[in-house]
Amino acid sequence: MLDTADQPTEQLQSLIADGDGERLDEYVGDLTAGETARAVSYLEEDDQARLLVLMSSADAADLVEQIPNVQAVPLIEHLEPEKAAEILRELPSDEQADLLAAVEPENAEAILAEMSPRESQAVRDLTQYSGDVAGGLMVSEYVAFPTEATVGDVIDGLQRRADQFRDYVVQYIYVTAETGELVGVLRLRDLLFAGRHQIIRSLMIREPLSVSALTSIDELFDFFSRHHLLGAPVVDATGKLVGVVHRAAVEAARGAHSESNYLKSQGIVGGEELRTMPLLLRSRRRLAWLSLNIVLNIVAASVIAFYQETLAAVIALAVFLPIISDMSGCSGSQAVAVSIRELTMGLVRPVELFYVLAKEACVGCINGLVLGLLIASVAWLWKGNPFLGLVVGVAMALNTLVSVSIGGTVPLLLKRMNVDPALASGPVLTTITDMCGFFLVLSFASATLPLLS
């Protein structure tokens, strides 16, 4: 066995060059998920393409599960459709759907063509749902029997299909009507201690807890917080059982969703970014955000240029301009975060602008007054001029009110225009609060210039 303390990338390169699939399976199996992802990311493209070809389908599937999708998708796309289909068969159905949804459509169709009609249809059924609802997170591997089956029928069925069911996460046996609707849940304990001729309808838990295929991530997280279950059956609009969503999948998806929103808010456009990705692709994604921001900042800076004589006359204002801009931006960002979360959870709708505006304006008035008094006191004590304190204090109070009101409503407006609020709210808010803050401070100072000099 190879020593996993050696450099994993060099070891992988050596094993790939030797074409030793058996030792490659063994070595990759000894690596941690982090070591695997790092080692694969540093391989040359040719070596990445050969890696999965040399590995057994089961071990290759384990590797694909360990690395981020942004790494796994290119590996799958470089494979022949037949080999890709072999690897995907070893993955849970939700992983299959996620990967095939991310590869190029023509590649996905070629891979699906190599799978059985039942397998390909199961994947197509999952890909019709977005990744942020139960239908997109569920697996289609579950055990279900009709209501009229006996305990003996269930036990015999489990034994006959043991090879298939062995890879399933079997927590319950689901009981369905002839048309596929979920009608009950059968605990394994009740099954094992019942007579073989007993009908499972008499043993099942009626009206079991279930979730709709369109239930959002946040609603699922709340569901599992209230109910101590490892998984829950998923039903469609007609009540038909279509899959099972696991608690672990919901927690992982919620974390990934939060990470995605954070990356977007920081200007990482177009999904995940790794430093091993092509240089021009990484640059283009970042420039899409930065180019917009430089234009917006020039617009905001033009306000200062318009009032440069006032700023030259009262140079102390230059100290307070960034403070007012930054504090107001922070207040607005808090409102943006709350609105995006409530939109995600379905607690507010894009049409409820005036409701959100009223709620945020109340917070803005209180926080603006407090922050205005604080900054006014600092200005007065520093320069001994109460009018300077009045100018910056009133500007801070009003700009806080504006930024909080805008921060709360901009995500709703962007959502109505089918623009991602997590991506666009930041630059819009920053530009408006900067322009408004600079304008308020400098216009008030111009009006009271004799009292400030």
- Domains in the chain: boundaries: 8-128, 144-265, 279-452
Q: Using DSSP bridges, classify how beta strands 182-186 and 144-146 pair: parallel, antiparallel or unpaired.
A: unpaired
CA–CA distance, 103 with 74 (Å, rounded to integer):
8
Q: How many CB atoms sit inside 10 A of residue 289's CB? A: 18
The pLDDT value recorded for residue 42 is 79
Q: Biggest alpha carbon distance in the chain?
A: 99
Secondary structure (3-state) at 171: coil
Please report, in tens digits, the pLDDT of each residue of the chain (453 residues total).
444 444 888 888 888 888 878 888 888 888 887 788 778 877 887 888 788 888 888 888 888 888 777 778 888 888 899 999 999 988 888 888 888 888 888 888 999 999 888 888 888 888 888 878 888 888 888 889 999 999 999 999 988 888 777 777 777 889 999 889 999 999 888 888 888 999 999 999 888 889 999 998 888 988 988 988 888 999 998 999 998 998 888 887 776 666 555 555 555 555 555 565 666 766 776 676 667 677 777 877 888 888 888 888 888 888 899 899 888 888 988 888 888 878 866 678 888 889 999 999 999 999 999 999 999 999 999 989 999 999 999 999 999 999 999 989 988 988 888 776 766 677 778 888 888 988 999 999 999 988 887
What is the CATH number assigned to the segment(s) 144-265?
A: 3.10.580.10
The pLDDT value recorded for residue 3 is 42
Angle 421-447/386-416 helices, nearest 10 degrees? 150
CA–CA distance, 445 with 177 (Å, rounded to integer):
76
Q: Do the domains 279-452 and 144-265 match in fold?
A: no
Sheet containing strand 211-212, edge to edge, reads 211-212, 231-235, 241-246
CB-based burial label for 232 (10 Å; 0-12, 13-18, 19+): buried
The pLDDT value recorded for residue 2 is 41
Which one-letter amino acid corresponds to residue 132?
Answer: D
CATH topology for the 8-128 domain: MgtE N-terminal fold (1.25.60)
For the domain 279-452, what is the CATH superfamily, name and number? SLC41 divalent cation transporters, integral membrane domain (1.10.357.20)
The pLDDT value recorded for residue 377 is 94
CB-based burial label for 81 (10 Å; 0-12, 13-18, 19+): middle
Among 424, 437, 341, which Cα is nearest to 393's? 437
The pLDDT value recorded for residue 5 is 40
Question: Is the entire prediction scored with pTM above 0.75?
Answer: no
CA dihedral of residues 285, 253, 274, 426 (deg, nearest 10): 40
Q: Using DSSP bridges, classify how beta strands 144-146 and 173-176 pair: parallel, antiparallel or unpaired.
A: parallel
List CB contacts of 287: < 8 A, sequence separation 6 or more: none
Which one-letter amino acid corresponds to residue 322?
Answer: P
**What secondary structure, in 3-state letters, does 246-311 show?**
EHHHHHHHHHHHHHHHHHHHCCCCCCCCCCCCCHHHHHHHHHHHHHHHHHHHHHHHHHHHHCHHHH
CA–CA distance, 435 with 315 (Å, rounded to integer):
19
CB-based burial label for 275 (10 Å; 0-12, 13-18, 19+): exposed
Among 249, 253, 245, 257, which Cα is nearest to 138's? 245
Secondary structure (3-state) at 178: coil
Which one-letter amino acid corresponds to residue 408?
Answer: G
Cβ distance 231 to 245 under 8 Å? Answer: yes
